[in-house]
Amino acid sequence: MMRRMRGILSWGGYLPHRRLDRRAIAGIAGKGGGGGTRTVASYDEDAVTLGVAAARLALRHAPAAPASLWFATTDPPYLDKTNATTVHAALRLDRETPAYDAVGSVRSAAGALRAALASDGPALVVAGDLRGGLPGGADEAAGGDGGSALLVGGADAGPVLAELCAVASATEEFTDRWRVPGEAASRLWEERFGETRYTALGVEAVKVALGRAGVAAAEVGALAVAGLHARASAAVAARSGVPAEHVVDRLEGTVGVTGAAHPGLLLASALEDAASAPAGRVIVLLVLSDGADAFVFRTTGALAAHHVADAVAAQAARGVSVDYGTYLAWRGMLPVEPPRRPEPARPSSSAAARNAAWKYGFTGSRGDDGVVRMPPSPLDATPALMADARGTIVTFTVDRLAYSPSPPVVFAVVDFDGGGRLPIELTDVAPDDVAIGGRVEPVFRRLFTADGIHNYFWKARPVRDGEG
């Protein structure tokens, strides 16, 4: 079957700022934990904001705008209401670009990627996930929080960085892991049962996919196995025939397994590693979730020139620790005394819809007088796109009286490069680390939830990617 060349046009991996040292768990929970760290989403991050953060990195140096959007997660902020439309609005995508959720299992992410690779035009596959479990459990320690985004498309949209060579799937019905909607943790069947099933499925999918691509296992330059079953992931890699040194680090020791975001995150990691290698590296992404999905890519000569916004490895090496009690409180596992202030009212849906460009897209206005106004003024005709503008802290304050899901509120007056000033809440920051003159960048976050409505808006965080 001949088909147009299609593959990866750009990618982004996002890791939240906080890390939980797994050794801190057993002292509180009485068991569990282990070595290494896992990533922890801030109290103001959810699957949508993690996905948005990754997508913004993917689009920063992308050759084309997405013509469709898929959003995958196992932890959707909403049911009945589409989560992908929030991602769409935060990315200021075109109104004609459809946005669909792929929600529920890790396999949703594989399905979204497969659909995107089969569709017309550039397609953005976004995933965000918060993984955890009950305190002291294996899932709590093994899980991680993160986002990933893959822009796929054909050569007509821009240089293809890794061409899709083949896809193969194996589907099977069995109950290894399950979670009733609303529950905080998965339940698991005996580990060996899932390991046996997944190992067979994975080996089979890789074999079929490599056969279709005409590549021998020994020629695979990178095999990335993403799935929630750790032992199965290791076993498949060991039996795949791919040389052990070509098996991609699953980031279990530093990040944890980020659920639906993990396939994209590992592929991003493999692409970043391949960028400095000769073109033609074969990268296999295998997703183990209620079956197995294998994607075979081959890197092109364009990969080396691609600008990576903020590499996964660089983010994995950053981050600051969060104590276990704070982690539990942020996850709702440890109910702490709320601030003695009135809880915020739910945002108005009609007002939010009317002001969507500002609220979700961080779009201000520029007047005939050249002044940038945030929020935008109805008297100004020109939009001012502020989401990618960085700024400098003019002054700041720490508010221990204001309502916050995680006090205190750190607030700064920020002058943005290219014009515009906004008093804006800071996040991912310790009060003592804020300084006048500090550089910050806008980030899309969930401020609070009231009456079940998640109030999304923008905050600012210190610039940490070295680009000032």
State yes or no: residue 455 binds another protein (CB under 8 A): yes
Contacting another protein (CB under 8 A), which of 171, 184, 341, 381? 341
Rounded (5°) CA angle 275-466-408: 130
Min dist. Cβ of residue 85 to another protein (A): 16
Contacting another protein (CB under 8 A), which of 404, 426, 429, 462? 404
State yes or no: residue 359 binds another protein (CB under 8 A): yes
Contacting another protein (CB under 8 A), which of 163, 425, 428, 441? 425
* Letter string b/e over residues 390-400, b meaning 16 or more CB atoms within 10 A of that residue's CB: bbbbeebeeee
Min dist. Cβ of residue 91 to another protein (A): 18
Which stretches of 91-213 are DSSP H helices? Answer: 107-118, 138-142, 191-213
Contacting another protein (CB under 8 A), which of 36, 344, 367, 383? 344
Question: Which range touches another protein (CB under 8 A), out of 66-74, 162-170, 174-182, 348-356?
Answer: 348-356
Burial of 278 (0-12, 13-18, 19+ CB in 10 A): exposed
Taking the C-alpha atoms of 366, 372, 376 and 379 in order, what is their torsion angle to the nearest 10 degrees?
-50
In this structure, are residues 3 and 119 in contact, taking their beta carbons and an 8 Å threshold?
no
Min dist. Cβ of residue 439 to another protein (A): 16
Min dist. Cβ of residue 421 to another protein (A): 5
State yes or no: residue 413 binds another protein (CB under 8 A): yes
**DSSP label at 254?**
T
Min dist. Cβ of residue 410 to another protein (A): 10
Scan residues 228-247 and list those touching another protein (CB under 8 A): none
Output the CA torsion sign for 313, 195, 191, 175: positive
Min dist. Cβ of residue 405 to another protein (A): 11
Output the CA torsion sign for 39, 45, 50, 53: negative
In this structure, are residues 365 and 384 in contact, taking their beta carbons and an 8 Å threshold?
yes
Coil/strand/helix, residue 131: coil
Min dist. Cβ of residue 341 to another protein (A): 6
Contacting another protein (CB under 8 A), which of 415, 417, 465, 467? 415
**Residue count at the site for another protein (CB under 8 A)?**
44
Question: Which range touches another protein (CB under 8 A), out of 5-13, 221-229, 247-255, 394-402?
Answer: 394-402
- Closer of 297 and 416 to another protein (Cβ): 416
Contacting another protein (CB under 8 A), which of 8, 62, 447, 460? 447
430 Cβ contact list (under 8 Å, min separation 6)? 320
- Closer of 320 and 430 to another protein (Cβ): 430
CA distance 101 to 147: 15
Scan residues 243-302 and list those touching another protein (CB under 8 A): none
Which stretches of 345-463 are DSSP H helices? Answer: 349-354, 356-359
State yes or no: residue 348 binds another protein (CB under 8 A): yes
Residue 271: both structure tokens together: 């692409």
One-character DSSP codes across 292-317: EEEEEEEE-TTGGGPPPSS-HHHHHH
- Closer of 61 and 341 to another protein (Cβ): 341
- Closer of 3 and 340 to another protein (Cβ): 340
- Name which of 398, 391, 406 is nearest 445 in CA terms: 406
State yes or no: residue 304 binds another protein (CB under 8 A): no
State yes or no: residue 101 binds another protein (CB under 8 A): no
Contacting another protein (CB under 8 A), which of 81, 332, 354, 467? 354
Q: Which residues bind another protein (CB under 8 A)?
A: 340-342, 344-348, 351-352, 354-355, 358-359, 371-375, 394-404, 409, 411, 413, 415, 419-423, 425, 447, 455-457
